[in-house]
């Protein structure tokens, strides 16, 4: 089923009776060429690009719960490519370019909205650092603009420009950044993969891996053994649990990150604002709710819920930046589990088991990476060689001293 404006009008006139489920609910076959573990954004994108761009067949996605029920449905929907380091920036720019063509590519409305993102500047030193990062972005074709105080004020006159601790002196903006309808990303990839013959198998939890002579033979699941020539794991949040089936320990800790939505307001913020110094960032959804977040809770957790002190901390950050929201009520808060890696950057790599591949360690930045993550993981699995933009995301970078540490925090995952 393809979508078109004509189809929407025709359905509207006939009571919307013609819409059908957009993907099948198949029984698992006994064997596949490729199994992707994890039916979230990254797993579905991997299956989609494996089938579409790399011409592979007999692919299954195994999902423990339902499609898109994890972090792809729990994030704050921001896309951007405003990184500094060589290992990161080309990859995230590749991702942003894929976002720009995504809806036409998979014929699904993901509401990609390049409304712009800005990182606020409070000191001269920060302006220097952001200028350098902006130059790195420009050199990689990502585009960047340094805004002065008046330019920021023209866009958001109600920000607290004269805060005693963090007065706003300007901002680094990426006009191509923005937001995307996060659930639609999972649905669009799922639909596109299903149309190309990928089996999307839900309620199918991987409980073990069958490895013989150092080679993957398939996975044990709660629906029986499923054989596979190659298995790719994309289960960020639960990476340590799943990879333990292959006897691996990972450079990853699982942490909980909370996000928040306020009651609906009239249009107030048309882009994304990040207030790094106050550990707060915010955008406004098309429904009018302020979507915002802050730091991770800071301790290992597999509970998809956080604690109140961080909610207080984020609310304080919001009030410091936008005193006008003082009477706005919070509508919802929720938590998701992040793979926090030891340098704050992800891993897309082979493992010591032949035919077993890993994609994870996305920290709290996985959503914006979804298209490139899927593409690069599919590239790695199909060709057994890393995609040119993802060559640095290796397991052994910690052993070899080639960390990609944007914040320079060292091996302290709760600080990235």
Residue numbers of the site for another protein (CB under 8 A)? Answer: 238, 240-241, 249-254, 298-303, 307, 309, 342, 398-399, 411-414
Q: Decide: helix, strand or coil at residue 87.
A: coil
Alpha-carbon distance 329 to 161, whole Å? 23
Q: How far is the CB of 342 from another protein (least distance, A)?
A: 5
CB nearer to another protein: pick between 51 and 338: 338
* Two tokens, residue 389: 């933009």
Question: What's the DSSP call for residue 365?
Answer: -
CA distance 231 to 273: 39
Measured from the CB atom, is 49 or 364 closer to another protein?
364
* Closer residue to another protein in complex, CB, 75/341: 341
Helix or strand or coil: residue 354? strand
Q: How far is the CB of 413 from another protein (least distance, A)?
A: 7
For another protein, the closer of residues 111 and 415 by Cβ is: 415
Specify which residues 337 forms β-bridges with.
256
Helix or strand or coil: residue 24? Answer: coil
Residue number with CB closer to another protein (142 or 342): 342
Specify which residues 256 forms β-bridges with. Answer: 337
Residue 338 or 356 having the CB closest to another protein: 338
Quick one: angle between helices 124-139 and 89-106, nearest 10?
60
Tokens of 385: 């060689």
| Pairwise CA distance, residues 220 & 238, whole Å | 17
For the bound state, the minimum distance from the C-beta of residue 222 to another protein, rounded and expressed in Å, comes to: 17
- Cα–Cα distance, 5 to 413 (Å, whole number): 47
- Closer by beta carbon to another protein, 238 or else 258: 238
User: Is the alpha carbon torsion for 383, 389, 393, 399 positive or negative?
Assistant: positive
For 380, phi and psi rounded to 5 degrees?
-60, -45
- Rounded to a whole number of angstroms, the minimum distance from the CB of residue 409 to another protein is 13
Distances in Å between the Cα of 280 and the Cα atoms of 131, 293, 322, 357 are 21, 6, 11, 35
Contact 68, 403 (CB under 8 A): no
Min. distance of Cβ 398 from another protein in angstroms?
Answer: 4
Backbone angles phi, psi at 318, to 5 degrees: -65, -45
Distance CA 17, CA 327 (A): 43
| Between 110 and 296, CB nearer to another protein | 296
Residues 6+ apart with CB under 8 A from 213: none
Least distance from another protein to the Cβ atom of residue 230, Å:
25
Q: Considering beta carbons, is residue 288 or 298 the nearer one to another protein?
A: 298
Least separation in angstroms between residue 68's CB and another protein is: 21
Residue 303 Cβ vs another protein, minimum distance, rounded to whole Å: 6
Report the nearest approach of another protein to the CB of residue 414 (Å): 6
Q: Which residues pair with 357 in a beta bridge?
A: 232, 350
């Amino acid at each position: 089923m393809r979508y078109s404006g004509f189809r929407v009008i025709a359905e509207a006139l006939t009571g919307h009776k013609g819409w059908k489920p957009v993907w099948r609910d198949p029984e698992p076959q006994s064997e596949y060429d490729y199994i992707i573990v994890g039916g979230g954004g990254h797993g579905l994108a991997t299956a989609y690009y494996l089938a579409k761009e790399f011409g592979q067949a007999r692919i299954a996605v195994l999902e423990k719960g339902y499609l898109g029920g994890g972090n792809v449905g729990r994030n704050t929907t921001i896309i951007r490519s405003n990184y500094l380091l060589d290992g990161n920036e080309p990859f995230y720019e590749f991702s942003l370019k894929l976002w720009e063509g995504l809806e036409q590519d998979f014929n699904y409305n993901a509401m990609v909205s390049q409304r712009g993102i800005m990182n606020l500047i409070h000191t001269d030193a920060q302006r220097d650092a952001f200028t350098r990062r902006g130059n790195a972005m420009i050199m990689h074709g990502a585009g960047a603009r340094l805004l002065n105080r008046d330019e920021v004020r023209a866009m958001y006159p109600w920000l607290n420009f004269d805060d005693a601790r963090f007065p706003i002196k300007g901002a680094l903006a990426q006009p191509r950044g923005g937001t995307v309808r996060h659930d639609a990303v999972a649905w669009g990839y799922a639909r596109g993969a299903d149309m190309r013959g990928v089996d999307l198998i839900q309620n199918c939890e991987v409980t073990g891996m069958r490895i013989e002579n150092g080679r993957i033979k398939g996975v044990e699941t709660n629906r029986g053994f499923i054989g596979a020539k190659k298995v790719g794991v994309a289960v960020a949040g639960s990476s340590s649990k799943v990879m333990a089936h292959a006897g691996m320990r990972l450079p990853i800790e699982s942490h909980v990150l909370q996000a928040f939505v306020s009651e609906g307001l009239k249009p107030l913020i048309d882009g994304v604002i990040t207030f790094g110094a106050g550990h707060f960032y915010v955008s406004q959804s098309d429904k009018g709710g302020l979507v915002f977040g802050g730091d991770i809770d800071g301790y290992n957790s597999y509970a998809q819920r956080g604690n109140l002190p961080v909610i207080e901390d984020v609310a304080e950050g919001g009030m410091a930046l936008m005193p006008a929201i003082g009477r706005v009520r919070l509508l919802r808060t929720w938590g998701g589990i992040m793979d926090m890696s030891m340098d704050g950057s992800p891993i897309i790599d082979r493992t010591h088991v032949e035919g077993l591949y890993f994609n994870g360690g996305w920290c709290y930045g996985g959503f914006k990476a979804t298209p490139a993550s899927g593409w690069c993981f599919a590239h790695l699995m199909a060709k057994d060689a890393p995609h040119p933009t993802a060559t640095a995301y290796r397991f052994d970078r910690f052993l070899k001293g080639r960390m990609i540490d944007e914040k320079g925090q060292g091996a302290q995952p709760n600080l990235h």
